Structures are given as structure tokens and as C-alpha cells.
Amino acid sequence: MTAPIAPITQDVLTIPRKLPEGGKQNLVGLTRDQLRDTLIAAGTPERQANMRVGQVWQWIYHWGVRDFAQMTNLAKDYRSLLADNFVVDLPELVTRQISADGTRKYLVRIAGGHEVEVVYIPEETRGTLCISSQVGCTLTCSFCHTGTQKLVRNLTAGEIVGQVMLARDDLGEWPVPGAPKDETRRISNVVLMGMGEPLYNFENVRDAMKVVMDGEGLSLSRRRITLSTSGIVPEIARAAEEIGCLLAVSFHATTDAVRDKLVPVNKKWNIETLLNTLRDYPRLSNSERITFEYVMLKGVNDTDADAKRLVKLIQGIPAKINLIPFNEWPGAPYERSDWERIEAFADIVYKAGYASPIRTPRGEDIMAACGQLKSATERSRKSRAEIAAEAGL
């Protein structure tokens, strides 16, 4: 519990919900309760409020409708009341790049002109959308491209949900009225593994996930959502209680000395503290194992001794170990471990009784792989020297 870590002040970092188009409020990202209050404040009679919430919700999140005029089961007067007060507004899609392997990377612009990246990864049996929770990051993990960019601000709940909706637009995934129900979903999973530390934007991430998980809208089950954290100990149990999704932890090292350098927040909550918290994770069970992410850095954290220490450390925690071959970015101070090394490491972990999948890098040609995201246009960035100094390299 040493070292000064940049203080996190939610108030400063979070902008108020944006009021686009002549001060009209955006409905995207409001939880059901917030939507109810908002509709009542605009003149919806209280006795109708629950019904109206259900109707508007279904139009926005099930059908993907943005124009109140198309919400045809609402009376005309009520449609005009909505149109006079509200908008259904998404962040702006700036560019879309498609990798040779089918991975799509979207650059998305949010209020204030800031940009974040969103990645869609199609696989044979599922499609995963990797979304961002912050512009930049307060943390400075030395192997992560986002960590070289200062935190600009937290995303609002609407901006987080908006990323899922934008991707659905692009993938043509909204249901067509009257068409037979399509059971295959192009976005079957969502991972909070893009830019930012989701647990440092807790309320907005929680509210956004509530919207995404709601059964009458986007309807992704909580077990298809994975939140990845660098290890913000005080928020971990809260995530289980208030969000209830699956958890991944960026572990990456088996001694505090090495983890301090790779994931500097370790100086605040070290390996032992983190593991104790994970042991108490309220939802822990064999069917809801915690994923330990482990980036493979040549000569830094990839020896047999590391693998053995790792399995010893996590003993008793239902877990799987996701090995991530390091993805390079311009100026990165590390190299990817050799393939044989990664396999030898995986083998030790596997023989100790843990699943140890090696994550196939996807979308490398468009810089969409894990840890490569960074909005190129952001001016507020750290120099190479600053990154190296912070990492103690």
C-alpha cells in the first residue's frame, strides 16, 4: 500500500449527460428507473409510466428504432411529447477498419470530440464485442498502449451502451419486424476489455450493463459479459453484487516486484490483497470461474518458475488462465515470448488442473489486438520516457 497513484475524482472526470439538439435529453443509457423518472418529469402521467417505459424501452433496445415517429404503438400526441423533449442518440462512428481475419475496429467519437475504439471479433461459434469504458486510462501498465495515453474522461452509460448499438447497426443485427426469429447472434458476448479501467468508472459501467443485460432489449445474459480489471480491490465485490457479470483480472506476474512494474496499481493493492479479495468473490463457483489474464512478455514473466508460482498462488480459486501473447505497438518496451515458451508455460498450468487457453491475436494488421488500442487523435499523451520512468524500467 505505498506509491502515489493518481487520485480518481469521478466528479471531475464524468461529464453530465449530454444534451444534444437544443437541450434535448438523450434517452440511451438510462436505466429503467431513470427512464421512468425522466418520462414523468416530461409530463407522462405516473399511472402510465411503467407501461411507457416498457414501450419506449422495447423500441430503442429491441428494435433499434431512433425516431419517435416510428414508435407506432404510441399515440401521436405522446410521440410528439417525446420528440419535443428527447433524442435517441448514439456516439458518432468515425471510421471502420476490417482486418484480414474479419475483426472490425471502429473509431467512435463522443461528446467533446474525444475518441474511443471498439473491436468486434467474429469466431466460429460466437462473436465478441470489446468495448471501452474510458478515454485513455489513469493507470499506466507499461505493456499497454492505452496506458500511454492520459485519462481524458470517463464514458457516460449512454456512450457505453451506444458502442453496442453502433456495432449492431454495422453488423445489421437489429430484428426485422415480422421476420422469423434469428437465434444466432452476431454479438453474442461483450467484454469490457477495450480502453480504460472499468472499475474506475463504476456507476456508468454498471448502469450500461444493466441496460445491455435487460431481457426486453439487447438481452445479453450476465454470463456473456466479462469485465476485465487490473485489480481495483475495493470495487471487485461490488462488481459481483451490483453488476453480476463474469470477471477477468489482469494478473500478468507472480511476484510483487514484477507486477509493480507491469501493473503499477499493484503498489496499492498487491498480489496477496488481490488474491484474498478474489477468493471472497461472491459469485465464485466452478461454472463462473475467474479468468486470470496473463500477458506473455519475453524474459520478463514467462519462465517455468513463473508458471509454477502462478498455479500455487491461485490454488483454491476456481479459475482459468488466459495467456495473451504480447501485442506490439510503436515504442513498446517489450517483446512477445517465443511460441514454444508460451506453450511450455501453458502446459505447466494445464497439468496443474487449470484451463490455459492461449489467446489468438486478432486484428493485428489494424492494431485491434488486446492492448493496442489508443485514439491516435488524442493530443494528451505521455512520452516514451515518461512511460519508461513510471514503469521503473
> What are the residues binding ligand SF4 (CB under 6 A)?
137, 139-141, 144, 146-147, 196-197, 230, 250
Q: Rounded CA gap, 297 and 338, in Å?
A: 9
Per-residue cell: 98:
476490417
Segment contacting ligand SAH (CB under 6 A): 74-82, 90-98, 102-110, 322-330? 322-330
Per-residue cell: 62:
429491441
- Which residues in 340-379 contact ligand SAH (CB under 6 A)? 370-371
Q: Which does 193 bind (CB under 5 to 8 A by kind): ligand SF4, ligand SAH, none?
A: ligand SAH
Q: Rounded CA gap, 228 and 196, in Å?
A: 10
Out of 245, 324, 366, 368, point to the residue binding ligand SAH (CB under 6 A).
324
Q: Rounded CA gap, 227 and 220, in Å?
A: 14
Segment contacting ligand SAH (CB under 6 A): 73-81, 104-112, 161-169, 223-231? 223-231
252 CB contacts (<8 Å, ≥6 apart)?
Answer: 141, 143, 259, 262, 263, 293, 294, 295, 301
Smallest distance from the beta carbon of 136 to ligand SAH, in angstroms? 11
86: helix, coil or strand? Answer: strand
Smallest distance from the beta carbon of 65 to ligand SAH, in angstroms? 32
Out of 128, 154, 250, 254, point to the residue binding ligand SAH (CB under 6 A).
250
Q: Rounded CA gap, 212 and 215, in Å?
A: 8
- 302 counts as binding ligand SAH under rule CB under 6 A: no
Nearer to ligand SAH, 193 or 243 (CB): 193
Q: Residue with C-alpha cell 435517441? A: 88
Neighbours of 355 (CB within 10 A): 13
259, 266 contact by CB (below 8 A):
yes
Q: What residue is closest to ligand SF4 based on CB?
A: 147
* Contact letters for ligand SAH, residues 124-163 (x by CB under 6 A): -----------------x-xx-------------------
Q: Rounded CA gap, 140 and 58, in Å?
A: 40
Gyration radius of the chain over CA positions: 22
151, 374 contact by CB (below 8 A):
no
DSSP-derived letter for residue 61 is I
Element (DSSP H or E) covering residue 109: strand 104-109
Q: Residue with C-alpha cell 471510421? A: 95
Q: Which does 324 bind (CB under 5 to 8 A by kind): ligand SF4, ligand SAH, none?
A: ligand SAH
Q: Which does 28 bind (CB under 5 to 8 A by kind): ligand SF4, ligand SAH, none?
A: none
Nearer to ligand SAH, 25 or 142 (CB): 142
Per-residue cell: 163:
458502442
- 193 counts as binding ligand SAH under rule CB under 6 A: yes
Nearer to ligand SAH, 156 or 230 (CB): 230
Smallest distance from the beta carbon of 222 to ligand SAH, in angstroms? 18
Nearer to ligand SAH, 134 or 156 (CB): 134
Nearer to ligand SAH, 25 or 266 (CB): 266
Q: Which amino acids are annotated catalytic?
A: 117, 370
Q: Residue with C-alpha cell 488466459? A: 322
Per-residue cell: 103:
475483426
Q: Rounded CA gap, 255 and 264, in Å?
A: 13
Nearer to ligand SAH, 217 or 231 (CB): 231
- 27 counts as binding ligand SAH under rule CB under 6 A: no
Contacts to ligand SAH by CB under 6 A: 141, 143-144, 193, 196-197, 228-230, 250, 293, 295, 324, 326-327, 370-371
